[in-house]
Amino acid sequence: MTVLRIDQVSRTFPARAGNAPTRALEPTTLDVGDNDFVTILGPSGCGKSTLLRIIAGLDRPTSGRVTLDGREVTGPGADRGMVFQSYTLFPWLTVRENIAFGLRERGVSQAERHDIADAFIRRVGLSGFENHWPKQLSGGMQQRTAIARALANDPKILLLDEPFGALDNQTRALMQEMLLGIWERDQKTVLFVTHDIEEAIFLGSRVIVMSARPGRIKAEIAVDLPHPRSYKIKTTPEFVALKERLVEEIRTEALKVAEQA
């Protein structure tokens, strides 16, 4: 059964101050099934974030439509949880209150909110930080809280827009394992945007490669690596072979961008 259907979705940004309109996304079609983990890989400026924002309902497609369980997406909603690249925790709320934000908006009672939030705090390994302000957390901890906040709402699909892009390499690797662990255990439909090839392979069941300017889907590569995956898989021949293939795909795109610039 298909959960998310992206049907001929395109986005053109209107002309501004003498410049021609920008075609950010060519008509794109993609289906994401139940409990699928799809990573979208592409160089910067390939429209991958635009596509994710359209799915989230934060941007409107110029043409085409997005449906979730058959219902057309017309705006943002709690059924599509989103984690951003920038740190978007509410600075005036504690870790626990941040995670419970969506629950409170839905009118869940205080006691129940508390229980659900604490369960997710444990799952992302932030026990002991329930009452900390976001300012007191490291970047990795903030993104873990943001993931917990999106998951606590129990969305049908989790959208992640380069959530680990601003983190250092070691933290990023740990975060990938944590996210994958949650997915392997709880099963969730996930759409993960990244420009990091290794990240795309390690996390995804499928990697969608996007081309640059205008953005469109260039290739789709299945990742048949077994679960549960540990960090050790990154040095196996199968992983390295996939990586080599994707490096070539991405390199041609990056070169195109460099030539245009």
Residues of the shown chain interacting with other proteins in the complex, contacts defined by CB under 8 A? 56-58, 75-78, 80-82, 84, 86, 88, 90-93, 101-102, 104-106, 132-136, 146, 149-150, 153, 159
CB of 175 to other proteins, least distance (A): 18
63 vs 136, which CB is nearer to other proteins?
136
The pair phi, psi for residue 52, each rounded to 5°, is: -65, -40
Residue 71's beta-bridge partner residues?
68
Helix (H, G, I), strand (E, B) or coil at 228: coil
Both structure tokens of 34: 């139940």
93 vs 173, which CB is nearer to other proteins?
93
Q: Determine how many CB atoms are found less than 10 A away from the CB of residue 142.
A: 21
CB of 234 to other proteins, least distance (A): 31
79 vs 118, which CB is nearer to other proteins?
79
CB of 83 to other proteins, least distance (A): 9
CB of 154 to other proteins, least distance (A): 11
Strand extents, DSSP E, the chain = 2-13, 22-33, 37-41, 63-68, 71-72, 80-83, 157-161, 189-194, 206-211, 216-222
105 vs 220, which CB is nearer to other proteins?
105
